[in-house]
């Protein structure tokens, strides 16, 4: 059991899982914002154009042999409009993030790269030459 809990803790603490959890929470809040936008702003404007005050009350009642079946197509219309707006908002957000990422890559490409570090062979050659020059100076002084 301890091994199972240890593995679960390692899984839960991975960066990807935490990022995903944050995404789900933000997505839930974003969904509420879009739902409010649809219900409180867009649907009333559509209702003005169609003469219908509330789409969720639209329904059709089937009557057969004393039984009634209600087809609430107004709720479906409302949900479809919410989905389209939510999908459009997500599309715009992804497009913006992609654009920012491309601009960042362009910016990174413009900055000059640091010159490559000298190899150990080059360093040893420089040290040898310096030692040789130093030895020659000492020899000329004597």
pLDDT confidence tier of residue 15, bands split at 50, 70 and 90: low
Residue 6, Cβ density class (10 Å: 0-12 exposed, 13-18 middle, ≥19 buried): exposed
C-alpha distances (whole Å) from 39 to each of 36, 72, 127 are 5, 17, 77
Residue 53: what pLDDT? 59
Residue (of 39, 68, 41, 69) closest to 56 by Cα position: 39
Which range is least confidently modeled, 11-15, 20-24, 70-74, 79-83? Answer: 11-15
pLDDT confidence tier of residue 32, bands split at 50, 70 and 90: confident
The residue assigned the tokens 């995404």 is 23
DSSP SS3 for 69: strand
Residues comprising the chain, all counted: 142
| 34, 82 contact by CB (below 8 A) | yes
Residue 125: what pLDDT? 92
| CA separation for the pair 52, 73 (Å, rounded) | 14
Domains in the chain: boundaries: 2-113
CATH code of the domain made up of 2-113: 1.10.1200.120
How do the residues of the chain divide into helix, strand and coil, expressed in percent and rounded to 5? 75, 5, 15
């Amino acid at each position: 059991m301890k091994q199972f809990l240890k593995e679960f803790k390692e899984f839960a603490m991975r960066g990807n899982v935490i990022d995903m959890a944050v995404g789900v929470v933000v997505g839930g809040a974003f969904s509420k914002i879009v739902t409010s936008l649809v219900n409180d702003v867009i649907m009333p404007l559509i209702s003005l154009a169609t003469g219908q005050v509330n789409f969720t009350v639209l329904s059709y009642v089937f009557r057969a042999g004393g039984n009634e079946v209600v087809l609430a197509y107004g709720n479906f219309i409302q949900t479809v409009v919410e989905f389209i707006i939510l999908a459009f908002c997500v599309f715009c957000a992804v497009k913006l993030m992609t654009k920012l990422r491309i601009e960042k890559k362009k910016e990174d490409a413009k900055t000059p790269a640091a010159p490559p570090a000298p190899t150990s062979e080059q360093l040893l050659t420089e040290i040898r030459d310096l030692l040789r020059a130093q030895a020659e100076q000492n020899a000329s002084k004597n």
